[in-house]
Structure 1
Amino acid sequence: MIKNKTWKTLQLITGVAALSSILLLSACGTSNSQSSSSTDSVAASPSSASKIKIVAAEDFYGEVAKAVGGDRVEVTSIIDNPNTDPHDYEPTPEVARRVSQAQLIVYDGVGYDEWMDKLISADSSSKSKLITKVADDVLDKQEGDNEHVWYNPETMPKLAKKLAADLSKVDPSNKQTYHKNAQAFIDSLAPLQEKVQKLHQPSGEMIDVSEPVFDYMAKALNLRVNDEKFALAIDEGTDPSAADVAKLQSDIKDKKINMFVYNIQNTGPTVDNLVKLAKSSGVPVVKVTETEPKGKDYLEWMDDQLDQVAKALGEQ
């Protein structure tokens, strides 16, 4: 969770009717206008008009789409600023136009980026699009499940294969290329998979977390979260109970845990005090983020965080 997130359904644009109006007006505009979001540069061949248009809600999913599609796709990543909260994001008319024109749409799902649900619902052409909700369609998650599925090491390889299959439906003549690209992307993640295997703890080491951003990776490493109630309260923007705070303080002071995993994008007095307590008690603090840092790709982002985990566990 990024600071000040709430779990209420947001009034992102005044009703589906307003979104429909935006889409209708944008359809009359020029198709060459540029979005304020991240848009990959267009190669000379194939031409821009012949490229398959893909919109990804988050840049780390856009990265996979670009890797699989190569120079045959034009990818727009809506959330490409690490300081933008995907929950609270309000789409502009230009973003609505991009979604309306897209042939493929990729977003997280399970309520994480509801604004994309609204844009798709307001688009009369949405039934003709190939739409992937990563948590729902790739990992079989449901509303209420932990939505931070990009921290699951299995997600990106599975998504690459799914996108290769979808692109092959749109452009069957290049099916072999898309599947080859997908495999190349999966192979590029081999260092991440190797590091996860190396750091996997046979005995299930105990950790505490400020909120459940890192939980899928923790599970992959066999790190057991010992403060789920506290973490869920922080994630939902509510005050954790005094008992849950006291339990976490005890975990830290008595060194019952191997590390405290801290989402640096969600700060507040309670969490900040626990970070200070961990540092003064000699409990390693692992800093993670919900959004991809500027200037880093997905592999670099995950790799940096796993290096912190390795240090906390005393691994070389």
Structure 2
Amino acid sequence: MGVQTTMLRSKIRLSCFAALMALALLLSGCGSAVTKTNAAGSSPTGKIKIVAAENFLGEVASAVGGDSVEVTSVITNPNADPHDFEPTAQTSKEVSDAQVIVYVGIGYDEWMNKLVTANSSPKTVINLGEGLLGKKDGDNPHVWYIPESMPKLADALAGGLGKIDPSQADAFKKRAQEYKNSLAPLMDLVAKLKQASPVDIAVSEPVFDYMAAALNLNVIDPGFAKAIEEEADPAPGDVAALQDALKEKKVKLFVQNTQAESPTVATIVDAANANQVPVVQVTETEPQGKDYLKWMTDQLTEVQHALGIK
């Protein structure tokens, strides 16, 4: 979920994917096994080649790797849907040639997992969801809303890159620490906004749920949110309960994923506005012109205003 409804979802057809895999293998050499280990070698420029599934992951790779890496982020368009992205032959070749792969995992960008599995060259594969955060398939995949996610990714990248190029290991660790230090405004804001006791809120989708948990904000409408995420009609009882909660101001704010248009959500937003319940707007993908830090802090600033915290 999390994209404008003008962009229709399309599932990857197995036959098309098989053809794509065959082309990728022709471009990179035959093979079937993937070793999640450290790869020697580099690009013709002498830099370590990194492919990140999403641009906010690529930002961390660039920050940690510095001039020693060449980073390609596959999804950079904020209106693209990572769930159902269909990789091109060029994407397959980039993944084949890369020494380091970074992706979310837990079913979010499964296409990347398939591309890696179909390729035989050894790589350092960093899976943010399962590998670093201990999540599993079926868990909420929006793990970049966990405040500790990017710091953990920075450390993992420093360790992986240091094994590929031991001569730069200390430099990678230093840059990882510098990147983590740069996130101080975000961490400070999370600490400032964390509630002493649970505060009830409602959401249009579970995009923001991890951050809500970090702030001790309790989501009261998981059934409604899950239905909207799955592009299904929420149960009438769930809609009625949410409308009542807004009318009676039982929730402190309503979090709207603005990338998912829905007549039902539009009605709920209207109800929130009519009852003076603040609406906090969030997105699933990184907005154009923002980096991860600004993306997150801008959204938390909206939460700050909604909670009335100075």
What TM-score comes out, normalization by structure 2 length?
0.92
Distance change >3 Å, CA 228–CA 5, structure 1 → 2: farther
**What CA distance in whole angstroms lies between the structure 1 residues aligned with 2:235 and 2:243?**
12
The equivalent residue for 1:208 is 202
The equivalent residue for 1:164 is 158
How far 1:4 sits from its partner (Å)? 4.8
**What CA distance in whole angstroms lies between the structure 1 residues aligned with 2:264 and 2:199?**
24
The equivalent residue for 1:111 is 107
**Amino acid in structure 1 at the alignment position of 2:80:** T
The equivalent residue for 1:87 is 83
Alpha carbons 1:17, 1:122 under 8 Å: kept:
no
How far 1:47 sits from its partner (Å)? 8.2
How far 1:5 sits from its partner (Å)? 11
The equivalent residue for 2:37 is none
Other structure's SS at 1:213 match: helix
**What CA distance in whole angstroms lies between the structure 2 residues aligned with 1:276 and 1:48?**
55
Alpha carbons 1:26, 1:94 under 8 Å: kept:
no
**What CA distance in whole angstroms lies between the structure 2 residues aligned with 1:236 and 1:107?**
22
The equivalent residue for 1:303 is 297
Among residues 218, 224, 242, which one is paired with 1:224 in the alignment? 218
Other structure's SS at 1:23 match: helix
1:14 aligns with 2:15: yes
The equivalent residue for 1:291 is 285
The equivalent residue for 1:147 is 141
Other structure's SS at 1:11 match: coil
The equivalent residue for 1:39 is none
**What CA distance in whole angstroms lies between the structure 1 residues aligned with 2:28 and 2:135?**
34
**Amino acid in structure 2 at the alignment position of 1:210:** S
**Amino acid in structure 2 at the alignment position of 1:281:** N
Correspondence list, 1:20-35, <5 A = 20-27=21-28
**What CA distance in whole angstroms lies between the structure 1 residues aligned with 2:43 and 2:49?**
12
Alpha carbons 1:69, 1:181 under 8 Å: kept:
yes
Alpha carbons 2:272, 2:278 under 8 Å: kept:
yes
Other structure's SS at 1:240 match: coil
- Provide the identity percentage: 55
Alpha carbons 1:5, 1:88 under 8 Å: kept:
no
Distance change >3 Å, CA 172–CA 60, structure 1 → 2: same
Other structure's SS at 1:49 match: coil
**What CA distance in whole angstroms lies between the structure 1 residues aligned with 2:23 and 2:305?**
50
The equivalent residue for 1:60 is 56
**What CA distance in whole angstroms lies between the structure 2 residues aligned with 1:20 and 1:267?**
34
1:278 aligns with 2:279: no
**What CA distance in whole angstroms lies between the structure 2 residues aligned with 1:279 and 1:12?**
42
**Deviation readout 1:83-132 (Å, 9 max, x if unpaired):** 1011121111101000000000000000001111121122122xx10111
What TM-score comes out, normalization by structure 1 length?
0.90
**What CA distance in whole angstroms lies between the structure 2 residues aligned with 1:53 and 1:13?**
28
CA root-mean-square deviation: 1.9
**What CA distance in whole angstroms lies between the structure 1 residues aligned with 2:15 and 2:58?**
27
The equivalent residue for 2:116 is 120
**What CA distance in whole angstroms lies between the structure 2 residues aligned with 1:146 and 1:270?**
22
Residue segments in structure 1 that go unaligned for 5+ positions in a row: 29-45
